[in-house]
Structure 1
C-alpha cells in the first residue's frame, strides 16, 4: 500500500481541505479532470470512465454501482474526493489479492484460480457451487473473470455469507427462515 499523503478538496470542485489518503496514482488524480466543474463529485457515468481493468476494459456497470453504494457515505448518489480515496485504497487492496491469485499472470482469474482464492478466504464450498458462482461473474463466457468482476463476485459472496450468518444462530451451517424473510434479504441485496 502506498504511503499516506495529503490531498486537498472542497465540494465546490476546488482543492482546499486537507485529507489523509493513500498516494494517488494518475488514474485517481484523473478525478480532477473528469469531475464536472464546480461539483467535486463523480456520477456513476464519470466514475465508470475513471475505473478500468488492467487490460483497459471498462468496469462492469454493476461493479461501479456496487462501489458507489459502498463508498457514497453521504448518500448523494455520487463519489466525492474523500470517498474516492477510500474507494481507491479498497481497490488497491483487492488488486494485490487479485494479482496474488492470478497465478498465470494472464490478467484474469480462471476457475481454478478463483477456487484457490475462495479456499484462501476460508470458504468451504462445493466444486459445483464454485462453478455456478464463477459462471455468474464470467459475464463474457470466456472462462475468465476480470479484476472488477472478481471483486464483485467476492463482495457478493461476503454479503450473502453475512446474511446467512444472521440467521444461522447455532452456527451449524443450516438455517430456517420464512419465505418473506428470504425475499426481504434478497431485495436488500438488490439495492
Structure 2
C-alpha cells in the first residue's frame, strides 16, 4: 500500500498540470531523473502498450500497470547482472526466457544488436528494458494479427458456406 502512495506522489509531480494523465515526453523526463535514459520512441512505445483507453496519454492506473512490468523486468535484470551493472548476451537470453519471451537466434541477435548502444555485448538496464518493451510490443502485435487472421479465415469460410 505504501508503494502505491509513493507512486501516486511521483505521478502527481510528473503530471504538473494536474490533468490526471502524463504524456510520453513527461514520462521520459521523469525516468531520466532515475537514471533510466530512453529514446522518446521507446517511451512512446511504453505509453502505447499501457494506454488502455487509447487517448495518447497514461493515467495513474495505466502507469501502475507499466510500473508493475518495469519492476518485473528490473527484478530479473538484478538477479542476473551479478553486480556488474550489465548483462551479457547469454544473460539477456536467459532473462527473456524468465520473463516468458522466446526468440529464435537470428531475431534475438538482431534485437540485441539494435539496443546494445556500446556494441560490446554488455546490455545495461535501460537497454534491457528497451529490449523487453520491443519484444512485448511485437508479441502483442503478432497476437492482434493472429486474431485478425483467424477472424479473416472464419469470415472466408463462412462466406464460402453461405454462397454454396
> Could you say whether these structures have the same fold, taking a TM-score greater than 0.5 normalized by the shorter chain as the test?
yes
Structure with a larger share of its residues in helix: 2
The reply to whether residue 152 of structure 1 matches residue 113 of structure 2 is no
Residue of 107, 129, 132 corresponding to 2:110: 132
Q: Structure 2: 5+ residue runs without aligned partners?
A: 150-164
Equivalent residue for 2:28, pick from 42, 45, 48: 48
Task: Return closer, same or farther for 1:69/1:144 CA change in 2, 3 Å cut-off.
Answer: same
The alignment partner of 1:148 has SS state of helix
Contact 1:133 1:153 in 2 (8 A): yes
Shift in Å at residue 64 of structure 1?
A: 0.8
Residue 106 (str. 1) matches residue 84 (str. 2): yes
**Which protein, 1 or 2, shows the higher relative CO under an 8 Å CA cutoff with sep ≥ 6?**
2
Q: TM (normalized to structure 1)?
A: 0.60
Instruction: Report the RMSD for the aligned CA atoms in angstroms.
Output: 3.2
Which protein is richer in strand relative to its size? 1
Question: What is the number of residues matched between the two proteins?
Answer: 145
Report the TM-score, using the length of structure 2 for normalisation: 0.69
Spell out the pairing of 1:22-101 with structure 2 (5 A cutoff): 23-24=3-4, 26=6, 29-52=9-32, 56-101=35-80
Structure 1: distance between partners of 2:8 and 2:83: 24
Deviations 1:38-81 (A, max 9, x none): 31221111111122497x14223222111100111222211121
Structure 1, unaligned runs of 5 or more: 6-21, 170-191
| 1-structure distance, mates of 2:72, 2:55 | 25
Change (3 A) 1:38 1:134: closer
